[in-house]
Amino acid sequence: MDPNNHVKMRKVLLCGLDFSGKTTLVKKFRIQPNETNEFFTSTAFMNLEKVKLPGKAETCLVYDMSGQGRHRASWAFFYPEVDAIFFVVDATDRARIDIARECLSDMARHPAIKGKRIPLVILSNKTDVDESVDANSMRSALQFERLKSENFDLEWWFIESNCKDASGIEAAFAKLEK
C-alpha cells in the first residue's frame, strides 16, 4: 500500500440540512472499517468515511457533516481543503427548501469558497418517493441559476438521487474526475 495514499486521496465535503440523507448516501459506497488498517472516528458534527466506487481504483475521503442547525457553521472549516462539495437536499421536505437555499447561498458567498474551482454538486435526494419535488421545481425553488450567478468559480451541477437504488450517487462522484 502506498504510504502517501492519504495525501493524494480526493476529499469531498458532504453537507446539507439534517435528515436529507447524507449518511445513508455515503454508507452505500463506504469501505467498511474492517477492510483497512485505518481507524476513522466520528464526532457529533462529522462522520468521516472512505468511499470506493464500483470499477474505480481511486478512493475518496468523505467528510459527512451533520446538517443540524447548531453544527452547520462547522462545514466552513473544510472549505479550504476539499476537492468537491456535495450538497444534499431532501426532495420530500418542501417546508425546508428555503432554509436549504439560504445555506447554499451562504456557502456560495463564503470567503473561503470564493475562487475555488471545484465541483459543487446539488443532490436532490429521496426522489424514489412519489410526492418528491421534481427536478425543475427543485431547481426553481433553490434559485439554482441565481445562486450560480453569485459564484461562477464553482462548477455547479444538479443531480437527482435516491439512496434506495443509489441512483445519482456515482454520477456525483464522477464530477470529481472532470
Ligand X SMILES: Nc1nc2c(ncn2[C@@H]2O[C@H](COP(=O)(O)OP(=O)(O)OP(=O)(O)O)[C@@H](O)[C@H]2O)c(=O)[nH]1
Grid cell in block for residue 52: 470506493
Distance of closest approach, residue 139 Cβ to ligand X, in angstroms: 18
Which residues in the 117-156 window bind Mg ion by CB under 5 A? none
User: Is 28:98 a contact under the CB 8 Å cutoff?
Assistant: no
Q: Which of 12, 13, 22, 116 binds ligand X (CB under 6 A)?
A: 22
DSSP reduced 3-state for 42:
strand
Which residues in the 36-75 window bind Mg ion by CB under 5 A? none
Which does residue 132 bind out of Mg ion, ligand X, none, counting CB within 5 to 8 angstroms by kind? none
Distance of closest approach, residue 168 Cβ to ligand X, in angstroms: 9
Q: Which of 162, 172, 173, 176 binds ligand X (CB under 6 A)?
A: 162
DSSP structure class, residue 43: -
Which residues in the 66-85 window bind ligand X by CB under 6 A? 66-68
Provide the binding-site residues for Mg ion, judged by CB under 5 A: 22-23
